[in-house]
Chain A
Amino acid sequence: MLAEILRRLMATVPVMAVVAIAVFALLHVTPGDPAVIIAGDYATTDDIARIRTRLGLDQPFHTQVAIWVGRIVRGDLGTSIFSGLPVSTLIGQRAGTTAWLTLFAMLISVGVGVPVGVVAAWRRGSWIDRAVMVFAVSGFSMPTFWLGFILVYVFAITAGWLPVQGYLPVATGAWPFLSHLILPALTLSVAYMALIARMTRASMLGVLEEDYIRTAFAKGLAPRGVLIRHALKNASLPVVTIVGIGFALLIGGAVVTESVFALPGLGRLTVDAIVRRDYPVIQGVLLVVSGVYVLINLVVDVLYVVLDPRIRY
């Protein structure tokens, strides 16, 4: 198993290389020029040309790629064109927020979505099942920013239980930390909660019709034991896949949530960098996020083996 994991890790290297070069190429065909943004309103054409030279933007594309890849190999993600801060510092400042937000959102999504899906499958056709389906459709349909503001209105402005915006690190205390994450995580989780509930229900419906489930009930096992130990375990592979994909999507989907709640996360860092054409930051963040995606896929693959020992790669 360990050898397999190592082999898969090694296989991520060419994937990351392709991602890196694709990102670099896409950015350089996008309209916009950081030099003119830096140069400001008073700049002459000569000023802009001088800034382009200083940033190395006047070099041929292949030279720029080579310089950037050379830096990446040395572990240097570069420096923000605007702030002058290392990209690794900027990512470090933001990664914690996004990681916690994603983790909490996924905990809520799984914590609610899976049990709800199991119950809906078990009570197929009942009002519970229909309620879950209504919830799932609603969860998919609600725009994140709209839901975010509704939650702010209800829980922050009207009830005053939670703050409107911002992020405080864990070091400031458990409640200040949690209170700033609850609404954003809830906002972010609703769509995935619905997705996971629906996927769990569908998967469970298939398993519940299997002979071994009927046998388990016939043997007199308690419904809870049958549902969790026998049915859910066998129904969990598609759910794990969805959770893995969801994790990856949550990182990307956090952009809107981070904006609505003014959270200093990777999503906003990326959007700000794109708006300003801060190439090193965009490239650095995308590279790191791509790496996280690859790792998540790896973890999902490993979980497959754990959950179903018949699976071999």
Chain B
Amino acid sequence: MHDEDPDGPIDQTGTVYSPCTGRATGSRPAAACYYRRRGLAAVDVERVTPREEHDMIQLTRRRFVAGATTVAAATALATPRARAQKTGGTLRFVAQADLKILDPVWTTAYITRNHAYLVYDTLFGTDEKLAVKPQMVERHSVSKDGMKYAFTLRDGLRWHDGQPVAAEDCVESLKRWMKKDRFGRLLAAHTAKLAAADRKTFTLELGERFGPVLEALGKPSSNVPFMMPARIAATSADEQIKEIVGSGPFRFVKDEWQPGNQVVYVKHADYLPRNEAPSGSAGGKKVNLEKVVWRYMPDAATAAAALAAGEIDWWEIPPIDFIPKIEQTASLATFLPDPLGTQGWLRPNHLHPPFNNKKARQALVAMMSQETYLQAAIGVPKYYRTCPSVFACAGPYASQAGAEGLLHQDMARARQLVKESGYDGRPVTVVHVTDIGFLSGAALVTRDLLTQAGFTVDLKAVDWSTNLAVRAKKDPPDKGGWNVLHTWWMAADVMHPAVHFGISGAGPGAWFGWPEIPQLEQLTTEWVRATDQPRRKQLAEAIQRTALDEVAYVPWGEWFLPTAFRRNVTGIQKFIAPLFWNVSIG
């Protein structure tokens, strides 16, 4: 069951009414009629930006679309009618990826997390300043010894099926999340009892001290502890949930979900927002939109043209090379929704030579030049920064402790370390992901630097999906395995030791590359048991020193991904995921 669209049939394509004919036209920009009425040919519009003529001469796909974007912008600037055609309560959004998996506990995919922020609510939220604030929770108390927490839910919370939210639902949801998430598993390992006390209250009793309980419950990135009805949360964590019922500000319309094309959400009429101002996933989630339609457009050029023509309102992550043209367009705007950014990784495989040798791994740090990587991978200095820290540079645990090797490239030392490691000249297999631009650029830089350091390099070209299979292989490189791979994580996922997979030293249980560094595990356990911030900061620095000395991985800098939208969209908030409450469309 779903609501009628107040604007007519599903507006997946931006159908509007022509100012020329008054008929539905698809997505005809009003500007064309404007110019025709004045007797100007399309070519006159082109001449508004002579630079585009040059671009058209040396036509490439991106240049062409960039030119098209500018032309459309010029016409939109000349015609306020284009704005008068907007379709009130429906926001058309181009998502970063195709939403295929709906269960935010079953997968860590960011697209699923973003979907879940519309549909589900959280006990606690994280605001723009990274402070954890109550969301579904009305109040909570902590015993004097810090071992028992009690949480009371707000009045009036309802699931999308109309049933009231109960404490038991939250208990089951947390239990399921604790089976999948790293932070959740750490919390579970320190929990003696988690149970409902009454209809609105549940308690969490710790078996061992655990400092960041609220940080865990307000964790902003995958896997986020989203709340579901107990009957759904009872699903095994290894199986996908079959029913999408949340208590969040929007309802998922399953009948209109077309994987690979569109996802439709409608306002949850019974949603009761908090009274505070919205900030990140905390505060009042006041919904202004009747409907949100996510579109998946695999071709960036198509999305750029659709945004310029007014067929979509908001494009989550345009490629950075499209940004300058968008920024020159009067009707469009860009915004950095996640000022924390994204961190790039170079990950050695600790299981096989040469990087099962510490000196060979240390050569990776000595050869590192974050600026070179970022230039090759991201390209526009405005959108990247060097960051000699394993923890996010905008986060509370950023530090240069033990990071001297990351600050200055020293190829002579790298070569020396390679010699000392006893490297026998066997080829080093570098996984080269060719269908993700920045990973491809990073791999090519790595090949060059490894060669300079004295390694023989075998670049293994794969697509992203093959990379996922290759990286999971523990076999030696000459039997399908690998030596070095590149990946990236949102800064929210490398904010502190409890969420950071790169500093896990659990050997077979660690992230791909499988470093076995017991000291890192010990320090992480101490970190989650610490209750005061100075101690946590001290432990985080110790973790970083160890991680960089043992070279669990090598960070190659941070970058930022702007979002683009039409100027009639207002209220977009800073957060790691696109949020649709507080957003209006004029």
Binding site for B on A (CB under 8 A): 31-33, 36-45, 48, 50-51, 54, 80, 82-85, 90, 93-94, 145-146, 149-150, 152-154, 156-168, 171-173, 175-176, 179-180, 259-262, 264, 268-269, 272, 275-277
Q: A158-B45, A159-B32, A164-B311 given as contacts; is B107 within 8 A of A38 (CB)?
A: yes
Q: Which residues of A contact B182 (CB under 8 A)?
A: 42
Interchain CB contact (< 8 A) of A145 among B61, B71, B259, B469: B61
**4 residue pairs, one from A and one from B, having the closest CB atoms:** A160-B32, A166-B13, A163-B26, A264-B261
Nearest-neighbour CB distance to chain A for B77, whole angstroms, equals 14
Q: How far is the CA of A175 from the CA of B297 in the complex (A)?
A: 23
Interchain CB contact (< 8 A) of B306 among A31, A39, A160, A165: A165
Q: Which residues of B contact A167 (CB under 8 A)?
A: 12-13
Q: Which residues of A contact B242 (CB under 8 A)?
A: 84
Q: Which residues of A contact B465 (CB under 8 A)?
A: 32, 37, 275-277
B residues 47-67 in Cβ contact with A at 8 Å = 59, 61, 64-65, 67
Q: Nearest A residue to B60 by beta-carbon distance?
A: A146
The verdict on B574 contacting chain A, using a C-beta distance below 8 Å, is no
Contact A272 B28 (CB under 8 A): no
Q: How far is the CA of A303 from the CA of B301 in the complex (A)?
A: 42
Q: How far is the CA of A94 from the CA of B262 in the complex (A)?
A: 12
The verdict on B42 contacting chain A, using a C-beta distance below 8 Å, is yes
Q: Nearest B residue to A152 by beta-carbon distance?
A: B305
Contact B305 A82 (CB under 8 A): no
Q: Which residues of A contact B109 (CB under 8 A)?
A: 40
Nearest-neighbour CB distance to chain B for A262, whole angstroms, equals 5
Interchain CB contact (< 8 A) of B298 among A90, A163, A268: A268
Nearest-neighbour CB distance to chain A for B420, whole angstroms, equals 32
| Chain A proximity mask over B292-319: 1 for CB below 8 Å, otherwise 0 | 0001111101110110110100000000
Q: A80-B259, A163-B26, A163-B28 given as contacts; is B297 within 8 A of A44 (CB)?
A: no
The verdict on B508 contacting chain A, using a C-beta distance below 8 Å, is yes
Q: A42-B501, A164-B311 given as contacts; is B468 within 8 A of A36 (CB)?
A: yes
Q: Which residues of B contact A180 (CB under 8 A)?
A: 13, 26
Contact A176 B15 (CB under 8 A): yes
Nearest-neighbour CB distance to chain A for B478, whole angstroms, equals 16
Contact A163 B32 (CB under 8 A): no
Most buried by A among B68, B101, B298, B302: B302
Q: Nearest A residue to B69 by beta-carbon distance?
A: A157
Contact A164 B259 (CB under 8 A): no
The verdict on B511 contacting chain A, using a C-beta distance below 8 Å, is yes
10 A-B residue contacts at CB 8 Å?
A40-B222, A83-B259, A158-B45, A161-B32, A165-B297, A166-B12, A167-B13, A168-B12, A172-B15, A262-B297
Most buried by A among B29, B100, B222, B309: B100
Nearest-neighbour CB distance to chain A for B57, whole angstroms, equals 14
Q: How far is the CA of A152 from the CA of B71 in the complex (A)?
A: 13
Contact B259 A85 (CB under 8 A): yes
Q: Which residues of B contact A94 (CB under 8 A)?
A: 258, 260
Q: Nearest B residue to A168 by beta-carbon distance?
A: B13
The verdict on B474 contacting chain A, using a C-beta distance below 8 Å, is yes
Q: Which residues of B contact A93 (CB under 8 A)?
A: 258, 261
The verdict on B215 contacting chain A, using a C-beta distance below 8 Å, is no
Interchain CB contact (< 8 A) of A42 among B12, B181, B487: B181
Binding site for A on B (CB under 8 A): 9, 12-15, 23-33, 42, 45-46, 59, 61, 64-65, 67-68, 71-72, 98, 100-102, 106-109, 180-182, 222-223, 238-240, 242, 258-262, 295-299, 301-303, 305-306, 308-309, 311, 462-466, 468-472, 474, 487, 489, 501, 508-509, 511
Nearest-neighbour CB distance to chain A for B392, whole angstroms, equals 16
Most buried by B among A48, A82, A163, A259: A163
Q: How far is the CA of A156 from the CA of B301 in the complex (A)?
A: 14
Contact B13 A163 (CB under 8 A): yes
Q: A160-B33, A165-B311, A264-B261 given as contacts; is B13 within 8 A of A48 (CB)?
A: no
Contact B302 A262 (CB under 8 A): yes
Contact B311 A31 (CB under 8 A): no
Contact A163 B311 (CB under 8 A): yes
Contact B306 A45 (CB under 8 A): no
Most buried by B among A163, A165, A172: A165
Q: A50-B238, A145-B61, A176-B24 given as contacts; is B305 within 8 A of A31 (CB)?
A: no
Nearest-neighbour CB distance to chain B for A199, whole angstroms, equals 30
Q: How far is the CA of A45 from the CA of B481 in the complex (A)?
A: 14
Contact A164 B25 (CB under 8 A): no
Contact B298 A259 (CB under 8 A): yes
Q: Nearest A residue to B100 by beta-carbon distance?
A: A82
Q: What 15 new A-B contacts, CB under 8 Å, besides A164-B306, A176-B25?
A: A31-B469, A41-B487, A83-B101, A93-B258, A149-B65, A154-B42, A157-B309, A160-B28, A166-B311, A172-B9, A179-B26, A260-B299, A260-B301, A261-B302, A264-B261
Interchain CB contact (< 8 A) of A48 among B239, B472, B509: B472
Q: Nearest A residue to B238 by beta-carbon distance?
A: A50
Q: Which residues of A contact B65 (CB under 8 A)?
A: 149
Contact B100 A45 (CB under 8 A): no
Q: A168-B9, A277-B465 given as contacts; is B29 within 8 A of A157 (CB)?
A: yes
Q: Which residues of A contact B180 (CB under 8 A)?
A: 42
Nearest-neighbour CB distance to chain B for A140, whole angstroms, equals 19
Q: Which residues of B contact A261 (CB under 8 A)?
A: 302
Nearest-neighbour CB distance to chain B for A150, whole angstroms, equals 8
Q: Which residues of B contact A90 (CB under 8 A)?
A: 259
Q: Which residues of A contact B100 (CB under 8 A)?
A: 80, 82-83, 276
Q: Which residues of B contact A165 (CB under 8 A)?
A: 13, 27, 297, 302, 305-306, 311
Contact A264 B468 (CB under 8 A): no
Q: Which residues of A contact B306 (CB under 8 A)?
A: 164-166, 262
Contact A179 B468 (CB under 8 A): no
Interchain CB contact (< 8 A) of A44 among B9, B259, B508: B508
Nearest-neighbour CB distance to chain B for A277, whole angstroms, equals 6
Most buried by A among B23, B46, B305, B501: B305
Q: A40-B108, A157-B309, A269-B260 given as contacts; is B28 within 8 A of A32 (CB)?
A: no
Q: How far is the CA of A51 from the CA of B236 in the complex (A)?
A: 12
Q: Nearest B residue to A90 by beta-carbon distance?
A: B259
Contact A82 B466 (CB under 8 A): no
Contact A175 B23 (CB under 8 A): yes
Q: Nearest A residue to B260 by beta-carbon distance?
A: A272
Q: Which residues of A contact B27 (CB under 8 A)?
A: 156, 163-166
Nearest-neighbour CB distance to chain B for A285, whole angstroms, equals 12
Contact B107 A40 (CB under 8 A): yes
Q: How far is the CA of A159 from the CA of B33 in the complex (A)?
A: 8
Nearest-neighbour CB distance to chain A for B371, whole angstroms, equals 26
Contact A153 B64 (CB under 8 A): yes
Most buried by B among A90, A152, A157: A157
Q: Which residues of A contact B101 (CB under 8 A)?
A: 38, 82-83
Q: How far is the CA of A307 from the CA of B271 in the complex (A)?
A: 66
Q: Which residues of A contact B511 (CB under 8 A)?
A: 41-42
